[in-house]
Amino acid sequence: MAKSEIIVGLDVGTTKICAVVGELTKNGVSLLGHGVAPCDGLHKGVVVNIEATVPAIEKAVEAAERSSGYEIRSVVVGITGEHIRSLTGKGTVRIRRDQEITRADVAQAQEAAQQIDLPPGREIIHNIPRASSVDGHHGIKNPVGMFGSTLEVETHLVTAESNPVQNIYKCVEQAGLTITQVVLEPLATAEAELHTAEKEMGVALIDIGGGTSDLALFGGGSAFYSAVIPVGGKHVTNDLSVGLRVAFTEAERIKLEHGIATEDGLDDLEAVAITPVGQPAGEEMRVPRRIIAEIIQPRMEELFELVEEEIRRAGGLELIPAGVVISGGGSRLPGTLDVASQVLGVPVRLGAPLEPAAATGALRTPEYSTGVGLVLYAARNPRGTHHADGLLDGLFGPISRWFRRLFSR
């Protein structure tokens, strides 16, 4: 099989690096393998230690090569971090009299939408067309072929600080890989987890990772708001570490084995063995599980309150009647959905990769949705949805043309 039919998603996360190898067949994407390596070179989604990140990327990629039998040279890489912002761009073009609107007109309007004043040190990483209007008639999904004199295209613009973007590039390149696309992580995760009907109706995706919780809102079939909240699973572990006076690793164990996001329904009878810091191994203490819940609950409530704030900033909960889909390793904490629905008051469900059907075993769990989603995102957006004048333009070769044919919609 030709190499050009392979896409590799590289999720550079705060707790782990994950490489997912996908192959495009005439039936869609199938997954050939994946590799994971722990990584502590990032803080809140941003590279803070290049020396720790590069070998972790190499390890994950080597494992993915072994599991897929494919030599990995280029990757689609995910990006996140508190520095991410999103806004709506609007671009207008005049159409010549008696002419139909062409793809070039739409592209020109899309290009015009990103002519915004960016603060120094920031760049546009996505410019995703969302809706268009022709002569003031709104809600037109595809204006190509229509008659009109003024075309306006509304786009979802995602911006990032250039330095963190460059640092991710540097790590990936030092690991001997070429980057074909950079994708905002929640947009990739959404690709793997959301149903088309949810995206049409209006839905929010929240990926609770280790260092950040990433949010993407969809309506009318496409993304309209993205944000990154600097609270994730590591904060919960940290709270337990401080609250129970145990080492971080012990706090992580306690969280994974006994953690729960709400104290509702817990009594003092259920007790958990913990080893406080400084205590010799084997000298355990018992604490009621309710105490663990009491420590975790306020942090999870804070997280969903921050999510609610972002949703309000995006226009309000009424824009997401399909509710909230919660993903990422942090979503595995029991009771998370209960806290989310109490705080947000909308329907909530747990996310995991819906497709490709070939996603089995570990890849079916929420921690791997971003890696799987990166493959799907690149398959469906072969030319990317980044800044039209960005660094990556012109890098798309035969892969793109092949994918474009397959996914032309």
Ligand X SMILES: Nc1ncnc2c1ncn2[C@@H]1O[C@H](COP(=O)(O)OP(=O)(O)OP(=O)(O)O)[C@@H](O)[C@H]1O
Site membership for ligand X, residue 373 (CB under 6 A): no
Binding part of the chain for Mg ion, among 24-32, 203-211, 238-246, 332-340 by CB under 5 A, reads 203-211
> Which candidate, 1, 57, 10, 98, places its Cα nearest to that of 374?
10
| Cα gap 200→135, rounded to integer Å | 24
Site membership for ligand X, residue 104 (CB under 6 A): no
* 116 binds, options Mg ion, ligand X, none, Cβ within 5 to 8 A by partner type: none
What kind and span of H or E run contains 252? helix 248-258
* 53 binds, options Mg ion, ligand X, none, Cβ within 5 to 8 A by partner type: none
Three-state SS for 203?
Answer: strand
Instruction: Read off the amino acid at residue 346.
Output: V
Site membership for Mg ion, residue 202 (CB under 5 A): no
Quote the least distance from Cβ 92 to ligand X, whole Å. 37
| Cα gap 269→274, rounded to integer Å | 16
Contacts of 270 (CB under 8 A, 6+ apart): 288, 289, 290
Query: Which two structure tokens, joined as six digits, stand for 69?
Result: 């039998």
Instruction: Transcribe 135-199 into DSSP letters.
Output: TTEEEES--TT-B-SEEEEEEEEEEEEHHHHHHHHHHHHHTT-EEEEEEEHHHHHHHHH--HHHH
Question: According to DSSP H, which parts of 69-160 are helical?
Answer: 103-113
The DSSP symbol for 263 reads -
Q: Smaller CB distance to Mg ion: residue 232 or 335?
A: 232
Fill in the per-residue mask, 223 to 262: x = in contact with ligand X (CB under 6 A), - = not in contact: ---------xxx--x--------------x--xx--x---
Fill in the per-residue mask, 351 to 390: x = in contact with Mg ion (CB under 5 A), - = not in contact: -------------------x--------------------
Question: How many amino acids of this chain bind Mg ion (CB under 5 A)?
Answer: 3
* 233 binds, options ligand X, Mg ion, none, Cβ within 5 to 8 A by partner type: ligand X
Q: Smaller CB distance to Mg ion: residue 235 or 258?
A: 235
Fill in the per-residue mask, 40 to 79: x = in contact with ligand X (CB under 6 A), - = not in contact: -----x----------------------------------
User: Tokens 């790590």 label which residue?
Assistant: 171
Check: CB of residue 213 under 8 Å from CB of residue 303: yes
Footprint on this chain of ligand X (rule: CB under 6 A): 13-16, 45, 80, 209-212, 232-234, 237, 252, 255-256, 259, 328-330, 332-333, 367
Footprint on this chain of Mg ion (rule: CB under 5 A): 13, 209, 370
